[in-house]
Protein backbone atom coordinates (compact mmCIF):
# COMPACT_ATOMS: atom_id res chain seq x y z
CA UNK A 1 0.00 0.00 0.00
CA UNK A 2 1.06 3.52 -0.47
CA UNK A 3 2.51 4.30 2.66
CA UNK A 4 1.26 7.73 3.17
CA UNK A 5 -1.69 5.57 3.93
CA UNK A 6 0.00 3.96 6.82
CA UNK A 7 1.27 7.29 7.97
CA UNK A 8 -1.72 8.12 10.06
CA UNK A 9 -3.45 9.98 7.26
CA UNK A 10 -6.73 8.23 7.91
CA UNK A 11 -9.77 10.43 7.80
CA UNK A 12 -12.51 11.47 5.46
CA UNK A 13 -11.74 13.24 2.22
CA UNK A 14 -14.67 14.02 0.00
CA UNK A 15 -13.65 14.30 -3.62
CA UNK A 16 -16.32 16.05 -5.62
CA UNK A 17 -15.39 16.79 -9.19
CA UNK A 18 -17.34 19.42 -11.07
CA UNK A 19 -16.79 18.14 -14.58
CA UNK A 20 -18.59 19.09 -17.73
CA UNK A 21 -20.67 15.92 -17.59
CA UNK A 22 -23.84 15.77 -15.52
CA UNK A 23 -23.28 13.45 -12.56
CA UNK A 24 -24.84 10.02 -12.98
CA UNK A 25 -24.88 8.73 -9.43
CA UNK A 26 -21.99 8.28 -7.05
CA UNK A 27 -19.14 5.95 -6.20
CA UNK A 28 -17.90 5.61 -2.61
CA UNK A 29 -14.35 4.35 -2.13
CA UNK A 30 -12.84 3.23 1.18
CA UNK A 31 -9.09 3.05 0.68
CA UNK A 32 -5.76 3.39 2.41
CA UNK A 33 -4.91 7.09 2.78
CA UNK A 34 -3.28 8.60 -0.31
CA UNK A 35 -3.24 5.23 -2.07
CA UNK A 36 -4.79 6.41 -5.32
CA UNK A 37 -3.82 9.21 -7.66
CA UNK A 38 -6.52 11.92 -7.38
CA UNK A 39 -6.10 12.49 -11.11
CA UNK A 40 -7.58 9.03 -11.73
CA UNK A 41 -10.72 9.88 -9.81
CA UNK A 42 -11.05 13.20 -11.60
CA UNK A 43 -10.68 11.54 -15.01
CA UNK A 44 -13.27 8.90 -14.12
CA UNK A 45 -15.76 11.60 -13.16
CA UNK A 46 -15.06 13.57 -16.34
CA UNK A 47 -15.65 10.50 -18.50
CA UNK A 48 -18.68 9.07 -16.71
CA UNK A 49 -20.31 11.87 -14.73
CA UNK A 50 -20.10 9.67 -11.64
CA UNK A 51 -19.09 11.62 -8.53
CA UNK A 52 -16.40 9.90 -6.49
CA UNK A 53 -16.22 10.12 -2.70
CA UNK A 54 -13.19 8.86 -0.80
CA UNK A 55 -12.90 7.80 2.84
CA UNK A 56 -9.61 6.43 4.16
CA UNK A 57 -8.21 3.99 6.72
CA UNK A 58 -4.74 3.21 8.02
CA UNK A 59 -4.91 -0.57 8.45
CA UNK A 60 -6.77 -3.64 7.23
CA UNK A 61 -8.04 -4.19 10.75
CA UNK A 62 -9.45 -0.68 11.00
CA UNK A 63 -11.31 -1.12 7.73
CA UNK A 64 -12.78 -4.50 8.68
CA UNK A 65 -13.75 -3.34 12.17
CA UNK A 66 -15.64 -0.38 10.76
CA UNK A 67 -17.55 -2.56 8.32
CA UNK A 68 -18.35 -5.12 10.99
CA UNK A 69 -19.55 -2.34 13.27
CA UNK A 70 -22.23 -1.56 10.72
CA UNK A 71 -20.74 1.13 8.49
CA UNK A 72 -22.67 1.31 5.24
CA UNK A 73 -22.51 3.25 2.00
CA UNK A 74 -19.11 2.07 0.79
CA UNK A 75 -18.84 0.50 -2.66
CA UNK A 76 -15.18 -0.43 -3.09
CA UNK A 77 -12.52 -1.37 -0.54
CA UNK A 78 -8.82 -2.16 -1.05
CA UNK A 79 -7.86 -5.01 1.30
CA UNK A 80 -4.46 -6.67 1.38
CA UNK A 81 -4.50 -10.19 -0.03
CA UNK A 82 -4.78 -11.95 3.33
CA UNK A 83 -7.57 -9.57 4.38
CA UNK A 84 -9.45 -10.31 1.16
CA UNK A 85 -9.37 -13.97 2.16
CA UNK A 86 -10.75 -13.07 5.60
CA UNK A 87 -13.48 -10.90 4.08
CA UNK A 88 -14.36 -13.70 1.69
CA UNK A 89 -14.89 -16.08 4.62
CA UNK A 90 -17.17 -13.45 6.17
CA UNK A 91 -19.16 -13.24 2.92
CA UNK A 92 -18.58 -9.48 2.59
CA UNK A 93 -17.51 -9.37 -1.07
CA UNK A 94 -19.54 -9.24 -4.27
CA UNK A 95 -18.75 -11.53 -7.17
CA UNK A 96 -18.00 -9.04 -9.95
CA UNK A 97 -16.76 -11.42 -12.67
CA UNK A 98 -14.15 -8.78 -13.48
CA UNK A 99 -12.03 -11.57 -14.92
CA UNK A 100 -14.49 -11.78 -17.82
CA UNK A 101 -13.63 -8.26 -18.93
CA UNK A 102 -11.43 -7.97 -22.02
CA UNK A 103 -9.00 -5.74 -20.12
CA UNK A 104 -8.37 -8.46 -17.54
CA UNK A 105 -5.91 -9.93 -20.04
CA UNK A 106 -3.61 -7.10 -18.94
CA UNK A 107 -3.35 -8.55 -15.42
CA UNK A 108 -0.28 -10.58 -14.48
CA UNK A 109 -1.50 -14.08 -13.47
CA UNK A 110 1.13 -14.09 -10.70
CA UNK A 111 -0.81 -11.29 -8.99
CA UNK A 112 -3.82 -13.56 -8.38
CA UNK A 113 -2.56 -14.26 -4.88
CA UNK A 114 -5.80 -14.47 -2.91
CA UNK A 115 -6.49 -18.10 -2.03
CA UNK A 116 -10.21 -17.35 -1.98
CA UNK A 117 -10.13 -15.86 -5.49
CA UNK A 118 -7.51 -17.64 -7.62
CA UNK A 119 -9.16 -16.64 -10.91
CA UNK A 120 -10.11 -13.04 -10.15
CA UNK A 121 -13.85 -13.65 -10.01
CA UNK A 122 -14.33 -11.23 -7.12
CA UNK A 123 -11.51 -8.68 -6.95
CA UNK A 124 -9.06 -6.89 -9.21
CA UNK A 125 -5.33 -6.95 -8.32
CA UNK A 126 -4.51 -3.32 -7.63
CA UNK A 127 -0.94 -2.57 -6.47
CA UNK A 128 2.03 -4.18 -4.75
CA UNK A 129 5.30 -3.27 -3.13
CA UNK A 130 7.86 -4.22 -0.52
CA UNK A 131 8.55 -3.43 3.11
CA UNK A 132 12.20 -2.69 3.71
CA UNK A 133 14.54 -0.19 5.32
CA UNK A 134 14.80 3.55 4.73
CA UNK A 135 18.04 5.01 6.05
CA UNK A 136 20.21 8.12 6.02
CA UNK A 137 23.63 6.96 4.79
CA UNK A 138 25.50 10.00 6.12
CA UNK A 139 24.54 8.77 9.60
CA UNK A 140 24.39 5.01 9.21
CA UNK A 141 26.76 4.20 6.38
CA UNK A 142 25.60 1.58 3.88
CA UNK A 143 22.82 -0.70 5.14
CA UNK A 144 22.21 -4.03 3.44
CA UNK A 145 19.81 -5.79 5.77
CA UNK A 146 18.25 -6.31 9.18
CA UNK A 147 21.51 -7.14 10.93
CA UNK A 148 22.98 -3.81 9.85
CA UNK A 149 19.74 -2.03 10.75
CA UNK A 150 19.57 -3.21 14.35
CA UNK A 151 23.25 -2.38 14.87
CA UNK A 152 22.75 1.32 13.99
CA UNK A 153 22.03 2.66 17.51
CA UNK A 154 25.10 1.07 19.07
CA UNK A 155 27.41 1.84 16.16
CA UNK A 156 26.30 5.39 15.35
CA UNK A 157 23.97 6.62 18.08
CA UNK A 158 21.24 7.05 15.48
CA UNK A 159 17.68 6.12 16.38
CA UNK A 160 15.65 3.45 14.57
CA UNK A 161 11.94 2.64 14.43
CA UNK A 162 9.81 -0.34 13.50
CA UNK A 163 6.29 -0.28 12.14
CA UNK A 164 3.39 -0.35 14.57
CA UNK A 165 2.28 -3.49 12.77
CA UNK A 166 2.14 -6.91 14.39
CA UNK A 167 2.63 -9.02 11.27
CA UNK A 168 5.38 -6.86 9.76
CA UNK A 169 7.45 -6.72 12.94
CA UNK A 170 7.17 -10.42 13.75
CA UNK A 171 7.98 -11.13 10.10
CA UNK A 172 11.49 -9.82 10.74
CA UNK A 173 11.95 -12.41 13.47
CA UNK A 174 10.72 -15.15 11.16
CA UNK A 175 12.98 -14.02 8.33
CA UNK A 176 16.04 -13.90 10.57
CA UNK A 177 15.19 -17.35 12.00
CA UNK A 178 14.55 -18.86 8.57
CA UNK A 179 10.87 -19.59 9.24
CA UNK A 180 7.73 -18.63 7.35
CA UNK A 181 6.02 -15.31 8.08
CA UNK A 182 2.80 -17.36 8.01
CA UNK A 183 3.91 -19.99 10.49
CA UNK A 184 1.35 -21.04 13.10
CA UNK A 185 3.86 -23.21 14.94
CA UNK A 186 3.90 -21.87 18.53
CA UNK A 187 7.62 -22.53 18.93
CA UNK A 188 8.47 -20.64 15.74
CA UNK A 189 6.27 -17.69 16.69
CA UNK A 190 7.89 -17.55 20.13
CA UNK A 191 11.33 -17.64 18.50
CA UNK A 192 10.36 -14.75 16.20
CA UNK A 193 9.08 -12.84 19.24
CA UNK A 194 12.32 -13.50 21.11
CA UNK A 195 14.40 -12.21 18.22
CA UNK A 196 12.52 -8.90 18.30
CA UNK A 197 12.70 -8.74 22.10
CA UNK A 198 16.48 -9.04 21.84
CA UNK A 199 16.50 -5.98 19.56
CA UNK A 200 13.85 -4.12 21.58
CA UNK A 201 16.26 -1.94 23.63
CA UNK A 202 17.58 -0.38 20.42
CA UNK A 203 14.14 0.39 18.95
CA UNK A 204 13.01 3.94 19.69
CA UNK A 205 9.38 3.47 18.70
CA UNK A 206 6.79 1.42 16.83
CA UNK A 207 5.26 3.95 14.48
CA UNK A 208 3.89 4.83 11.06
CA UNK A 209 5.02 8.45 11.43
CA UNK A 210 8.27 7.83 9.62
CA UNK A 211 8.25 10.44 6.82
CA UNK A 212 8.29 13.38 9.21
CA UNK A 213 10.75 11.76 11.60
CA UNK A 214 13.28 10.92 8.91
CA UNK A 215 12.91 14.30 7.18
CA UNK A 216 13.78 16.12 10.42
CA UNK A 217 16.67 13.78 11.32
CA UNK A 218 14.84 12.54 14.43
CA UNK A 219 15.62 9.02 13.27
CA UNK A 220 18.43 7.54 11.22
CA UNK A 221 16.57 4.55 9.81
CA UNK A 222 13.16 2.86 9.80
CA UNK A 223 11.26 -0.18 8.68
CA UNK A 224 8.87 1.14 6.07
CA UNK A 225 6.96 0.67 2.82
CA UNK A 226 8.37 1.38 -0.64
CA UNK A 227 5.50 3.81 -1.21
CA UNK A 228 7.38 6.40 0.85
CA UNK A 229 9.43 6.94 -2.32
CA UNK A 230 6.73 9.45 -3.23
CA UNK A 231 8.25 11.63 -0.49
CA UNK A 232 11.91 10.64 -0.60
CA UNK A 233 12.62 10.45 -4.34
CA UNK A 234 13.76 14.06 -4.32
CA UNK A 235 15.85 13.66 -1.15
CA UNK A 236 19.50 12.92 -1.82
CA UNK A 237 20.17 11.75 1.72
CA UNK A 238 17.57 8.98 2.10
CA UNK A 239 18.10 5.48 0.68
CA UNK A 240 15.89 2.40 0.58
CA UNK A 241 16.98 -1.22 0.65
CA UNK A 242 15.15 -4.52 0.50
CA UNK A 243 16.96 -6.51 3.23
CA UNK A 244 19.37 -9.11 1.92
CA UNK A 245 18.06 -11.61 4.51
CA UNK A 246 14.52 -11.24 3.17
CA UNK A 247 11.38 -9.19 3.62
CA UNK A 248 7.70 -8.98 2.81
CA UNK A 249 5.73 -8.22 -0.32
CA UNK A 250 2.36 -6.54 0.15
CA UNK A 251 -0.46 -6.45 -2.36
CA UNK A 252 -3.84 -4.81 -2.22
CA UNK A 253 -6.81 -5.71 -4.38
CA UNK A 254 -9.85 -3.69 -5.46
CA UNK A 255 -13.03 -5.37 -4.16
CA UNK A 256 -16.71 -4.49 -4.33
CA UNK A 257 -18.71 -4.98 -1.14
CA UNK A 258 -21.86 -7.08 -1.19
CA UNK A 259 -23.57 -4.15 0.51
CA UNK A 260 -22.43 -1.66 -2.15
CA UNK A 261 -25.22 0.82 -2.94
CA UNK A 262 -23.63 1.64 -6.31
CA UNK A 263 -22.44 -1.76 -7.49
CA UNK A 264 -22.75 -0.97 -11.20
CA UNK A 265 -20.70 2.20 -10.81
CA UNK A 266 -18.15 0.19 -8.85
CA UNK A 267 -17.85 -2.34 -11.66
CA UNK A 268 -17.48 0.52 -14.15
CA UNK A 269 -14.58 1.86 -12.09
CA UNK A 270 -12.89 -1.55 -12.08
CA UNK A 271 -13.21 -1.66 -15.87
CA UNK A 272 -11.80 1.85 -16.06
CA UNK A 273 -8.81 0.87 -13.92
CA UNK A 274 -7.99 -2.05 -16.21
CA UNK A 275 -6.86 0.45 -18.85
CA UNK A 276 -3.03 0.53 -18.89
CA UNK A 277 -2.81 4.31 -19.10
CA UNK A 278 -4.97 4.62 -15.96
CA UNK A 279 -2.99 2.09 -13.93
CA UNK A 280 0.21 3.81 -15.10
CA UNK A 281 -1.03 7.10 -13.60
CA UNK A 282 -1.05 5.40 -10.21
CA UNK A 283 2.44 3.96 -10.65
CA UNK A 284 3.91 7.35 -11.48
CA UNK A 285 2.34 9.01 -8.45
CA UNK A 286 2.48 6.14 -5.95
CA UNK A 287 5.82 4.45 -6.73
CA UNK A 288 4.21 1.03 -6.21
CA UNK A 289 4.31 -1.87 -8.60
CA UNK A 290 1.30 -2.63 -10.78
CA UNK A 291 -0.21 -6.01 -11.73
CA UNK A 292 -1.18 -4.42 -15.08
CA UNK A 293 1.58 -5.63 -17.42
CA UNK A 294 1.12 -3.09 -20.27
CA UNK A 295 1.03 -0.28 -17.67
CA UNK A 296 4.57 -1.19 -16.61
CA UNK A 297 5.84 -0.26 -20.07
CA UNK A 298 4.23 3.17 -19.73
CA UNK A 299 6.13 3.97 -16.53
CA UNK A 300 9.00 6.47 -16.51
CA UNK A 301 12.59 5.34 -16.91
CA UNK A 302 13.16 6.06 -13.22
CA UNK A 303 10.50 3.54 -12.19
CA UNK A 304 11.32 0.92 -14.83
CA UNK A 305 15.01 1.01 -13.90
CA UNK A 306 14.52 1.15 -10.13
CA UNK A 307 14.92 -2.43 -8.91
CA UNK A 308 13.24 -1.55 -5.60
CA UNK A 309 10.04 -0.77 -7.52
CA UNK A 310 10.28 -2.96 -10.63
CA UNK A 311 11.45 -6.11 -8.92
CA UNK A 312 13.84 -8.57 -10.59
CA UNK A 313 13.19 -12.29 -10.23
CA UNK A 314 16.00 -12.78 -7.71
CA UNK A 315 14.39 -10.24 -5.38
CA UNK A 316 11.04 -12.03 -5.47
CA UNK A 317 12.82 -15.16 -4.26
CA UNK A 318 13.56 -13.58 -0.88
CA UNK A 319 10.15 -12.03 -0.31
CA UNK A 320 7.13 -13.52 1.46
CA UNK A 321 3.46 -12.49 1.33
CA UNK A 322 1.13 -12.61 4.32
CA UNK A 323 -1.70 -15.14 4.39
CA UNK A 324 -4.80 -15.47 6.54
CA UNK A 325 -3.70 -17.30 9.70
CA UNK A 326 -7.15 -18.24 10.94
CA UNK A 327 -7.06 -19.09 14.64
CA UNK A 328 -3.28 -18.93 14.55
CA UNK A 329 -3.57 -15.15 14.62
CA UNK A 330 -4.18 -15.38 18.37
CA UNK A 331 -0.61 -16.58 18.86
CA UNK A 332 0.64 -13.48 17.06
CA UNK A 333 -1.60 -11.27 19.19
CA UNK A 334 0.03 -12.67 22.33
CA UNK A 335 3.54 -12.30 20.94
CA UNK A 336 2.85 -8.74 19.83
CA UNK A 337 1.49 -7.81 23.24
CA UNK A 338 4.65 -9.19 24.83
CA UNK A 339 6.82 -7.12 22.49
CA UNK A 340 4.83 -3.91 22.86
CA UNK A 341 4.80 -4.06 26.67
CA UNK A 342 8.45 -5.05 27.08
CA UNK A 343 10.63 -2.50 28.86
- Going by C-beta distance under 8 Å and a sequence separation of 6 or more, which residues neighbour residue 141? 156
pLDDT tens per residue across span 224-271:
999 887 676 666 789 999 999 999 999 999 999 999 999 999 999 999
Q: What is the mean pLDDT of residues 51-56?
A: 97
Q: What is the mean pLDDT of residues 9-37?
A: 62
pLDDT of 287:
87
- DSSP secondary structure string for all residues of 237-272: T-EEE--TT-EEEEEEEEEEBTT-TTHHHHHHHHHH
Q: How far apart are CA 238 and CA 232, in angstroms?
A: 6
User: Could you tell me the residue ranges of all domains in the chain?
Assistant: 5-128+251-301, 130-248+316-341
Same CATH fold, 130-248+316-341 and 5-128+251-301? yes
Q: Find out if CATH 3.40.190.10 is the number for domain 130-248+316-341.
A: yes
Out of 1-5, 226-230, 311-315, pick the least confident.
1-5
Half-sphere exposure of residue 102: CA atoms within 13 angstroms, side-chain side: 1
- In degrees rounded to 5, what are phi and psi of residue 20? -75, -15
Q: Grade residue 330 by pLDDT with cuts at 50, 70 and 90.
A: very high
Q: How far apart are CA 337 and CA 7, in angstroms?
A: 21
Residue 6 has pLDDT above 60, yes or no: no
Q: How far apart are CA 63 and CA 60, in angstroms?
A: 5
Q: Assign domain 5-128+251-301 one CATH number from 1.10.390.10, 2.40.50.180, 3.40.190.10, 1.10.3720.10.
A: 3.40.190.10
pTM of this structure? 0.86
Query: Counting Cβ atoms within 10 Å, is residue 157 exposed (0-12), middle (13-18) or buried (19+)?
Result: exposed
Q: How far apart are CA 314 and CA 325, in angstroms?
A: 27
Q: How far apart are CA 319 and CA 268, in angstroms?
A: 33
pLDDT of 29:
98
Residue 98 CA: distances (Å) to CA of 34, 266, 271, 293: 24, 11, 8, 17
pLDDT tens per residue across span 274-289:
999 999 999 998 889 9
Amino acid sequence: MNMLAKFGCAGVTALSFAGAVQAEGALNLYNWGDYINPGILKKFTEETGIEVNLDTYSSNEEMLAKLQAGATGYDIVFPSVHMQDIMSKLDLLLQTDINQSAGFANIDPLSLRAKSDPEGVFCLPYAFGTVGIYYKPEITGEITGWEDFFAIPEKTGGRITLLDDMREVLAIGHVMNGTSVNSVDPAEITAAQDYILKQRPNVSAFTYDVPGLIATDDIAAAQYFIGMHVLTSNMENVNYVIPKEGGTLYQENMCVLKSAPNAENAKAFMEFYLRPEIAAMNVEQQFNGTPNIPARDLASDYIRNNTNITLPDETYERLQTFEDLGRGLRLYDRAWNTIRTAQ
